[in-house]
A and B are shown apart, each in its own frame.
Chain A
């Protein structure tokens, strides 16, 4: 039982980390801090504009695969994976 409780706590920590990044790249960089970030250039892009219309989406994709990968490892470490299921 505590195995499952530990697994759930580890999952919640991982979700917290991922959603913090999710929040920062979209709401913080794309909206709240967009004006100061726009003073920095990324090629022809103003950086704040780039986060809002490009960067946030790339990071969202990476975050989901990162989460899926880490959860796969957690599933095994806590022995709650599905491979024993038929």
Chain B
């Protein structure tokens, strides 16, 4: 069977599976729609959370980023996993005990203020919409690259699939499809990694292969990679820092608290039956995430070594351009890989020095996408990678869309504008909001705004500097009042946005940047994408200061805080709702 037919078959089978699950798991109450009835087993929720969390960026781009950053890429590995430790200990169990449906709902009730709730809704929608644009683009790109259909057609198919299971099933449908999507994406990621690790080191487990010797040699793989890179004039793979250790420290911190503060991840922990399940479920989520995240460094280093040795052969000869392998031709056609034979000798050489280097473009995404072809794996593995990339993008898009639609139907409509609507009306409204959110996300996928490239970093900055501190203080500081929380959110957000915009331009329009995107202007050399953590510290400080000079929260609020701190009564709190 041809690769093309095989890819259609595998992707078609996974889509049929998702739609089958959607029909089986329709939502009949608002509780089903928002939190899957709080009936999800903690292990199942962990798996769904992992798919929800791992986006097209984690699946396709992360290993490529690490491949070219080496040690500096560790900020993504530690940052995007360490956040779950914070989530498990500082947020998830208490928010589950609170027993409501959305993140802004907690902020509104805890800070006895509709203003606080609306500020939280705005932060949530901005963070989630910017994030979803990237997923929509990922779906369109995956379709156009693997199935060779038009980008726009691919996007419409992707929207149609999400529409079916998200509108019908809400959180319930999304949860069960995410579990299936996790299985697809983790197989798609680990199988090529196992083969490649086996080929290079003889060790099938990539986590151990990365620390092993090269097959048939006494030289360790990482030492070989450092050596090869040094010979070409590049820095050591295993020691090159990203800008500075201080920048890496702040970046990692920002990604951790941003991860813990992302609403579409937090609401997944409202779907488990008990408080103690919320704790263990965070552990399971991280197990399932870590399977991919600990594989990624192996994929990164091995793919980089494979790529270099395809061009600069270990025996000292160079790649003869006319004799290049078919996978090289294929990726040249997609525009992700480009060569220029500068000295006209018919051979390609790869080097750090731009005057000598003849590999003029290597898109980092190739590291995962071309991996199976580089290793000469069978067609079904390549088809599986296509299905895995789509599963990663679809599952994250659906989770984000649910966070957006529940903020509209539950927080704005039911919470602020029309408190008296019935449950059936709210359920209908939530379906309409979901359909509307899919159309908006699709529109933004067709017409990505200029600032789209910088937006995922903005989503983390917003979550880190506004949502995480407000939630944490709401649980751990009984005396935090609405004045403090609102001032803190506004200050944290303001500082982060100001820093990002002054270097990257207002709404990422470069000409409006009043300080230029120049490293020497960065505060202590910290890059703008890493600034959410500083914003969070400002948020904490301002909130604490303001709460000291304004009236303490009313007594019943202090009782709410005391109540969410203990697990007992979680079941009762939920049954009181309905």
Which residues of A are interface residues toward B (Cβ below 8 A)?
4, 7-8, 11, 15, 18-19, 22, 26-27, 30-32, 34-35, 38, 42-46, 49-50, 52-54, 56-58, 60-61, 63-65, 67-68, 71-72, 75, 80-82, 84-86
Contacts and interface: CB of A to CB of B under 8 A. Distances in A.
Contact of B572 (A22, A43, A86): A86
A57 to B, nearest CB: 5
Contacts of B211: 42-45, 50
Given A44-B211, A44-B222, A82-B571, A52 B71 contact: yes
A42 B220 CA distance: 11
B85 A68 contact: no
A56 B211 CA distance: 16
A82 B248 contact: no
Contact of A49 (B71, B283, B570, B571): B71
A22 to B, nearest CB: 5
B275 interface: yes
A44 B210 contact: yes
B283 A19 contact: no
Given A43-B220, A71-B276, A82 B88 contact: no
Contact of B566 (A4, A45, A50): A4
B533 to A, nearest CB: 12
B234 interface: no
Nearest to B248: A31
Q: Size range of the interface on B?
A: 35 or more
A34 B93 CA distance: 34
B100 interface: no
A82 B274 contact: yes
Contacts of B343: none
A8 B565 contact: yes
A45 B282 CA distance: 29
A44 B571 contact: no
A60 B81 contact: yes
Interface stretch (B48-56, B159-167, B285-293, B493-501): B285-293
Given A31-B252, A44-B222, A44-B223, A82 B570 contact: yes
Contacts of A56: 77-78, 81-82
B245 A32 contact: yes
Contacts of A54: 207, 210, 294, 297
Contact of A52 (B77, B207, B280): B77
Residues of B contacting A: mostly: helix
Nearest to A23: B82
B360 interface: no
- Chain A to chain B: the 6 pairs with minimum beta-carbon distance, closest first: A44-B220, A85-B571, A52-B74, A64-B283, A68-B279, A43-B211
Max chain A Cβ within 10 angstroms of own Cβ: one of B86, B89, B290 = B89
A63 to B, nearest CB: 6
A67 B213 CA distance: 36
B78 A57 contact: yes
A75 B276 contact: yes
Contacts of A45: 210-211, 222
Contact of A65 (B274, B283, B569): B283
B88 A67 contact: yes
A49 B238 contact: yes
Interface string B346-385: 0000000000000000000000000000000000000000
A19 to B, nearest CB: 7
Contacts of B220: 43-44
Given A7-B566, A26-B252, A44-B220, A57 B294 contact: yes
A76 B319 CA distance: 67
Given A18-B85, A44-B222, A67-B89, A82 B276 contact: yes
B84 interface: yes
Contacts of A61: 283, 286-287, 290
Contacts of A57: 77-78, 81, 286, 290, 293-294
A84 B570 CA distance: 10
B279 A64 contact: yes
18 contacts: A7-B565, A7-B566, A26-B78, A30-B252, A31-B74, A31-B245, A31-B248, A44-B210, A46-B238, A54-B207, A56-B77, A57-B81, A57-B286, A57-B290, A61-B287, A82-B274, A84-B568, A86-B571
Contacts of A8: 565-566
A44 B286 contact: no
B567 interface: yes
Contacts of B93: 71
B90 interface: yes
A72 B277 CA distance: 10
Contact of B239 (A7, A38, A68, A81): A38
Contacts of A72: 276, 279
A15 B89 contact: yes
A52 B568 CA distance: 38
Contacts of A7: 565-566
A31 B248 CA distance: 7
Interface string B67-102: 000010110011001101110111001000000000
B339 interface: no
A52 to B, nearest CB: 4
Given A30-B78, A31-B249, 20 more contacts: A7-B565, A22-B82, A27-B253, A32-B245, A44-B210, A53-B297, A54-B294, A57-B286, A58-B294, A60-B82, A64-B286, A65-B280, A65-B283, A68-B88, A75-B276, A80-B567, A82-B274, A82-B567, A85-B572, A86-B571
